[in-house]
Amino acid sequence: MSEVLRKILSEGKDIAINSKEVKEGTIFIAMQGLEFDGRDYINEAIKKGASAIIYEATNFKEKKVWDIPSLAIHNLKQELPEIAGLFYQNPTKFLKVIGVTGTNGKTSVVGWLQQCLSNLHQNAGLIGTLGSGKGHLEKTSNTTPDIISLNKIFYEFKKKGIQYAAMEVSSHAIKQNRIANIVFDIKVLTNVTRDHLDYHKTLSNYQKTKKQFFSDGGCKNFVLNVDDHVGQQLVSEIDWHEKNLITYAIDNQADLCATNIVYKDSMMTFDLLHKDKIYNLRANVFGKHNAYNLLSVIACLVMYKFSINSIIEAVQLLQSIQGRNEVIQFNSDGSPQVVIDYAHTPDALENILVSLKTIAVKNVILLFGCGGNRDKGKRKKMALVANKYADKIIITTDNPRHEDPSEIINDILKHITTRHIVIESREQAIKAGVEMLSDDSLLLIAGKGHEEYQEVKGIRYPFSDKEIALLELGNIKN
């Protein structure tokens, strides 16, 4: 790293790759992206008080001289991890970072890890879909933020005395090298099913990207789901010499197993098998997929040498994660009546529907749509899952983005055979679903979960499934 760069970094108060985040004393890093070129915003950054400019040298024809320090770097994106590490003093070297990847379950596992560690009197934070921090979460731009934002978050964690950081690791982050300089203490695999094929193009590419996470870097501790095909492959492909591995499963042999799973209302119990001993565990969540998520959490805590009994006590205090199997209305008998879930993949939708069918012998009303400008192949698969498990279906919009909502709905309708209605407005669809409820029915609002917006034609409008449903439930009660 050049002395010029070191000097620039040593004199800056902060760094940013988005000109909107520039304040007095901020070093602006002008990257060339897929949609925007940060170099177009250099003058804006200078007007906002940038202390220096670091910019991509490739294909930059302008020969401007600015009145603040500047440095041109070829292949700037590749240098970002080193730049971020130097500026923020490589904070993850001082933290126990648990990286969780997988198609489904990341948010629940990360949230429950943070809760459990706190229940075990440890100072723990999280980074993921719901935000970053502990307790009150700050919003993040992506499931896994960019490398600059990540280092800044970890730096703040370190300053606050946080020792453990549970972090969601998306396939986009792995592919785009957003986690290049992060020192992971444990790497976790939940599962790998179909998702993000609009980006990865094939399921094989998607699986390879997930597997890459476990072969990169110097991490020594791993937690793998061996009921999952990719998890099984990793067990056989990785050289486990001088590495620690804990496997978990429900259907196969593993280091940690859950058996005799019993669901009652919105709770479950199961027997936890570990080192030839059986422990009874109760949790305030339900569904086989959540049994897997809990096993992930327990495996990490076992890796950290907490006693099984203290782990069980911590797990039994867990609270549901926002927008994941979130029951917002109960029947008088204690069973769920209105549930919100983020399920936006065929596998996730099947998981939640099977879970609800298991705990409630009722007619399930399913409300769902599919996202625009994403893997169109999921639409048929989601429809087939809906046919199999729902008793009545309300087809509506999700985040249509730049696609025509009616075209997305028509793609779904081609494969729907169960009794159904179409209501394009998601707000009106939710209201209609609530109005359909009776003592023998349950409404699942699927697809958006915790999200507080709906994206239409590139604009994110304020929108909350939960708020609309609760408002309509209140209107009906009144």
291 sits in which H/E element: helix 288-303
Q: How confident is the model at residue 165 (pLDDT cuts 50, 70, 90)?
A: very high
Q: Does the pLDDT value for residue 158 go beyond 90? A: yes
d(CA 290, CA 286): 6
d(CA 405, CA 397): 6
CATH 3.40.1390.10-classified regions of the chain: 3-87
Average pLDDT over the chain reads 93
Of 111-115, 168-172, 301-305, give the lowest mean pLDDT range. 168-172
pLDDT tens digits for 298-343? 999 999 999 999 999 999 999 999 999 999 998 887 788 999 999 9
Question: In this structure, which amino acid lies at residue 147?
Answer: I
Kindly indicate the confidence band of residue 135, based on its pLDDT and cuts at 50, 70 and 90. confident
Helix (H, G, I), strand (E, B), or coil: what is residue 411?
A: helix
Nearest CA to 39 out of 82, 72, 4 is that of 72
Question: pTM (2 decimals)?
Answer: 0.92
- Give me the half-sphere count of Cα atoms (radius 13 Å) on the Cβ side of residue 433: 37
What is the spatial distance between Cα 144 and Cα 138, in angstroms, rounded to a whole number? 13
Work out the average pLDDT over 251-257: 97
Nearest to 392 by CA among 329, 431, 465, 444: 444
Per-residue pLDDT, 336: 87
* Best CATH choice for the domain 326-477 from the list 3.30.1540.20, 3.20.10.10, 3.40.1160.10, 3.90.190.20: 3.90.190.20
Count CB atoms within 10 A of the CB of residue 243. 11
CATH 3.90.190.20 in the chain, residue ranges: 326-477
Whether 354 and 389 have beta carbons less than 8 Å apart is answered as: yes
**C-alpha 146: how far from its chain's center?**
14
Q: How far apart are CA 342 and CA 326, in angstroms?
A: 9
Q: Check: CB of residue 391 under 8 Å from CB of residue 418.
A: yes
Query: How many helices and strands in the chain, by DSSP H and E?
Result: 16, 23
**Closest listed residue to residue 103, CA positions, set 270, 297, 343:** 343
What is the number of alpha carbons within 13 Å of residue 423 lying toward its C-beta? 16
Q: Cα 362 from chain centroid?
A: 30
pLDDT tens for each residue of 73-97: 999 999 999 999 999 999 999 999 9
Q: What are phi and psi of 91, to 5 degrees?
A: -60, -30
Q: Which CATH class is domain 91-315?
A: alpha beta
Residue 1 has pLDDT above 80, yes or no: no
3-state secondary structure of 31: coil
For range 27-55, the mean pLDDT? 92
**Who contacts 384 (Cβ-Cβ below 8 Å, separation ≥6)?**
346, 415
DSSP symbols for 222-260: EEEETTSHHHHHHHHHS--TT-EEEEEESSS--SEEEEE
Q: Which pLDDT score is estimated for 22? A: 96
pLDDT at position 338: 96
Question: How far is it, in rounded angstroms, from Cα 368 to Cα 409?
Answer: 10
Q: Give the model confidence (pLDDT) of 403-433 as tens digits.
A: 999 999 999 999 999 999 999 999 999 999 9
How many C-beta atoms surround the C-beta of residue 31 within 10 A? 18
Whether the pLDDT of residue 476 is over 90: the answer is: no
The pair of structure tokens assigned to 104 is 């489904």
Q: Mean pLDDT, to the nearest integer, of 19-35?
A: 91
C-alpha 88/C-alpha 337 separation (Å) is: 48
Q: Give residue 198's pLDDT band: very low, low, confident or very high (50, 70, 90).
A: low
Confidence band, pLDDT 50/70/90 cuts, at residue 264:
confident
User: Which pLDDT value is given to residue 194?
Assistant: 58
Residue 157: Cβ within 10 Å count: 26
Q: How many residues does the chain have?
A: 478
CB hemisphere CA count around 31 (13 angstroms): 17
- Cα–Cα distance for residue pair 82/90, rounded to 1 Å: 9
Q: Where in the chain is the domain with CATH 3.40.1190.10?
A: 91-315
Assign domain 3-87 to its CATH superfamily.
MurE/MurF, N-terminal domain (3.40.1390.10)
State the Cα–Cα distance between residues 421 and 358, nearest whole angstrom: 25
